Structure 1
Amino acid sequence: MKIGVVHFGSFTTGITEIIRTLINEKNDDIVSLYGIEWNRQSDGIEVRELHKVALDKAQYTSEAILNSFPEHKWTIQNSNKLQPLSEFDTVIVFGGKNHQIDLPYHNILFIPVSIFNDIEDSSYSLGYDSALNTIYNSIEKIRDTASSLLYGRLRVFPIQVPGNEFTPLIEDTALAVNSPFVKKVDEQAISNIKEAILEKNSRNETYMFIIMDYSIDHQSLEKSISKDLLIDWKVMSISESQCVGPYPTARDQVSMRKVSQTLLELIRNGIEPGQLNFQGNKLFFKKNNLIGGNVNVN
């Protein structure tokens, strides 16, 4: 059985650990595992076998086991250059927004990986809890500094969280740090922020956070608010690269083990195209838009 592996760069630490488990525990007499990368010089797919020698070399040289695939190359328009995918019995795809495009190759097994927890049909995506905790800790460090300073007016910290659209990461971050969030700049959002500022002033508090993604025009928001209220406005940004560090949270560690165990079981039983989905704490295999054999890993 010839299995390819693609990943789109999100939650690299977790994906690397899953690939390492597959390499170490698969039956080498039955299964061959190949990394699928994009060669920028030839502008095409490059394939290399993933085996224990390659794993040992990667660990020794501190190189990546598998380089991330540029998502903008994973398109219908580029399907002729993706033709080598058809040579595999199954291609395991970790993450990516374009995984569901109608490529002429029907051998894809998709794994939900996203720091935004925005994968359709899956209640959870690998990397989300690690990203959320990283953002939370970053904001708490800002809180430690802000709470120790007296400025004479309320200090407002718009916190730019990764992403260019509203995702669960915005709302959950706001809940975690007990702060308002902005979904879009409109009269309602401006009114809500003004109300929150007035409440902070009434309590003689010295700072507040506003959570938003990178698509929000924070300058326009500041202009609308500061014309009526005396505030100090200081934008803080958290990048996506900060959210994919080397230390996954316990929840992501558990989820990684579940995915690894499920993939090994699917490989033993004859892996098929489809998608792994989290529903609560359980992992299910969805085949061809229909629920196939359910695999629960406790």
Structure 2
Amino acid sequence: MNIGIINFEMAPAGVNQLLHKVISELLQAHTVTGIRLDAQTGLLTYKDYEEENVAGTFVDFRNLLQLSPLTEDITVFDTLADFDAILVIGPQQAEAFVRALNERLDRTNCLFIPVSIYRNVVETDQSLGYDTAINYVIDSILRIRDTIDSLKYPNPRLLGVQMEGNVPHQALDEMAVAIGGHVLNHDFDEQEVDGLKKALRKEFASGQTYAFLLFDERIDAKRIPGELLTDIAIDWKTHKIDESLCMGPEPTAADRILAMKMAGGIVDWLRNSQSSGKLLVKSRKAKVELY
């Protein structure tokens, strides 16, 4: 079987471990090729994994497959009709591409393998990369907390932790729970702001000298002290967390385990010669839902 693999837009922690496992398993009986769309030329380039030493350890393979940009022009991928199966790794937005590619390539089965650092993948319980990302964010905030705790300010310090990108409510909520912080969602209303004020006043009145507020880049950080919280005496400071730093470099144990489960689901799908679909994780098991 001739198998192609392409990775769109995002490669969070655990993707390289997944690729290593899948490729090393498949090379025993199949041809496996890495596919990349060059953003400059608009052409596809290929990597024959039979020529790579994929039998080595994970640490030796940090860049098994370079990222490709998502594009609306799908005609460039018509040449992939020579493959028996295409594995497509990427964020939720890439599923539309997979479905379109599946319609164009009659004899090629396509498998969408969703990954996300914010667990915003539709219909799945877990997403590869989320545990590593949230651990990085929490660890970063806790290090800041240790610094704040040793300093004195005229007013209580409110540290705004601004996440890059569009972060789902659930991800912000879980980060806030872990650090004992607060959330301001991009679609906030007056009631949510009033609730935030009430919670902050209660904490500061109890003697707490700092608090954390998590929000994403859809909110202008200057609006919070200058418009939304003008009636609370605070010392405001913003700390931005770069999305790229949440990608790794090394996956947590949870993401390593998830990567191996997903790799097993991919290999089973190929060995059973199933039709096109997407890989989901439900009840801690990876399984393919066919289109």
1:112 aligned residue: 114
> Distance in 2 between the 1:167 and 1:161 partners?
12
Query: Residue 182 of structure 1: CA displacement?
Result: 0.9
2:106 aligned residue: none
Identify which of 204, 209, 214 aligns with 2:212: 209
Counterparts in 2 of 1:225 and 1:91: CA distance versus 1, 3 Å: same
Aligned 1:81-120 pairs, distance under 5 A: 81-101=76-96, 102-106=99-103, 107-120=109-122
1:177 aligned residue: 179
1:146 aligned residue: 148
| Percent sequence identity over aligned pairs | 28
Q: Say which SS state the counterpart of residue 100 (structure 1) adopts.
A: helix
> Distance in 2 between the 1:104 and 1:64 partners?
25
Q: Deviations over 1:191-216 (max 9, x none)?
A: 12211221122111110001111111
1:33 aligned residue: 32
1:222 aligned residue: 225
Aligned 1:1-298 pairs, distance under 5 A: 1-29=1-29, 31-51=30-50, 53=52, 55=54, 64-71=63-70, 73=71, 75=72, 78-101=73-96, 102-106=99-103, 107-183=109-185, 184-288=187-291
> Distance in 1 between the 2:238 and 2:119 partners?
24
Contact 1:36 1:45 in 2 (8 A): yes
Query: Residue 58 of structure 1: CA displacement?
Result: 12
CA RMSD of aligned residues (A): 2.4
Whichever residue aligns with residue 253 of structure 2, its letter is: A
Whichever residue aligns with residue 159 of structure 1, its letter is: V
Q: Say which SS state the counterpart of residue 281 (structure 2) adopts.
A: strand
Give the TM-score of the pair, scaled to structure 1.
Answer: 0.87
Q: Say which SS state the counterpart of residue 123 (structure 2) adopts.
A: coil
Query: Residue 148 of structure 1: CA displacement?
Result: 1.1
Query: Residue 42 of structure 1: CA displacement?
Result: 2.1
In structure 1, the gaps of 5 or more residues are: 289-298
Contact 1:13 1:248 in 2 (8 A): yes
Q: Deviations over 1:235-282 (max 9, x none)?
A: 111111111112211111110110112222222222431011111312
> Distance in 1 between the 2:278 and 2:206 partners?
50
Whichever residue aligns with residue 53 of structure 1, its letter is: E
Counterparts in 2 of 1:13 and 1:193: CA distance versus 1, 3 Å: closer
Contact 1:118 1:167 in 2 (8 A): no
In structure 2, the gaps of 5 or more residues are: 104-108
Figure out how many residues of one structure are paired with residues of the other and give that number.
Answer: 283
Query: Residue 224 of structure 1: CA displacement?
Result: 2.4
Q: Say which SS state the counterpart of residue 218 (structure 1) adopts.
A: coil
Q: Say which SS state the counterpart of residue 247 (structure 1) adopts.
A: coil
Counterparts in 2 of 1:13 and 1:271: CA distance versus 1, 3 Å: farther
Structure 1 range deviating more: 232-241 or 6-15: 6-15
Give the TM-score of the pair, scaled to structure 2.
Answer: 0.89
